[in-house]
C-alpha cells in the first residue's frame, strides 16, 4: 500500500461499459460489478499514473463538471482503491472518519455530484441460485457440487446431502 500522488487506474481483468453519465465496470478476477457515477468515472479515467491529485482537480473543473477540492478527488480515489480498481492500493485518506463526516467535509467544499461507487458480487456458481427442485427429502441427491444447503432448507426439508463449495 502506498500514499501515491499519481494513482493509476487498473485496466487488466476488467470489462468496462461506458454509458451517458455513468459507467459499469465488471472485475473478472473478483467477479464484482461496480457502478460508477459520473464523478467517480471521471476521476478513475484521469488516474493515468502521471496526473497528480491536483491535476485531476484541474481537469475536473476544466470539464465543466463543477468546482471541487482535492478531498473530493481523494474521496473517489479511496473508493477506487478499496474496490481494487487502481493498480496499487492507496492508503485511505478518510480513515477513521464516519461516512457522514467525510461526505459533509467534501460536500460543503464542492459544487459537483459526490463520487459514488456501488458494487455487487456475482454468485460463486449459478447453481447456487437455482433450485434442485426437491419435492421430498429423498429426492435430494447425496452430493451436490457448488450449491448451498439452504436450497433444501428453504423448501422446508432437512438436507440429506453434503455440499461441496
Which residues make up the interface to other proteins (CB under 8 A)? 15, 17, 19, 21-24, 26, 28, 31, 33-36, 118-123, 126-127, 129-136, 138-145, 151, 154-157, 161
What cell does 45 get? Answer: 479515467
The smaller minimum CB distance to other proteins, of residues 20 and 96, is found at 20
Residue whose entry in the numeric block shows the C-alpha cell 484521469 = 46
**Beta carbon of residue 133, minimum distance to other proteins (angstroms, whole number):** 5
Which grid cell is 76?
473517489
Q: Judged by CB, which is closer to other proteins: 103, or 163?
A: 163
> Minimum Å distance from CB 109 to other proteins?
26
CB closer to other proteins out of 14 and 105: 14
Cell output for 30 = 473478483
Distance CA 89, CA 19 (A): 26
Min dist CB 13 to other proteins, Å, is 10
Smallest distance from other proteins to CB 116, Å:
11
Q: Which is nearer to other proteins, 33 or 97 (CB)?
A: 33
Burial string for 104-138 (b: 16+ CB within 10 Å, else e) reads ebbeeebebebbbbebeeeeeeeeeeeebebeeee
Q: Can you tell me whether residue 37 is helix, strand or coil? A: strand
Amino acid at each position: 500500500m502506498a500514499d501515491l500522488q499519481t494513482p493509476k487506474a487498473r485496466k487488466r481483468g476488467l470489462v468496462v461499459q461506458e454509458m451517458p453519465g455513468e459507467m459499469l465496470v465488471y472485475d473478472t478476477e473478483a467477479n464484482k460489478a461496480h457502478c460508477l457515477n459520473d464523478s467517480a468515472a471521471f476521476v478513475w479515467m484521469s488516474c493515468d499514473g502521471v496526473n497528480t491529485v491536483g491535476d485531476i482537480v484541474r481537469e475536473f473543473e476544466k470539464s465543466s463538471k463543477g468546482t471541487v477540492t482535492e478531498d473530493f478527488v481523494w474521496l473517489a480515489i479511496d473508493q477506487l482503491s478499496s474496490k481494487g480498481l487502481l493498480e496499487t492500493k492507496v492508503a485511505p485518506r478518510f480513515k477513521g472518519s464516519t461516512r457522514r463526516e467525510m461526505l459533509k467535509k467534501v460536500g460543503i467544499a464542492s459544487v459537483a455530484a459526490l463520487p459514488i461507487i456501488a458494487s455487487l458480487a456475482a454468485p460463486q456458481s449459478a447453481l447456487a441460485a437455482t433450485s434442485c427442485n426437491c419435492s421430498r427429502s429423498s429426492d435430494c441427491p447425496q452430493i451436490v457440487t457448488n450449491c448451498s444447503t439452504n436450497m433444501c432448507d428453504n423448501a422446508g426439508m432437512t438436507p440429506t446431502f453434503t455440499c461441496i463449495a
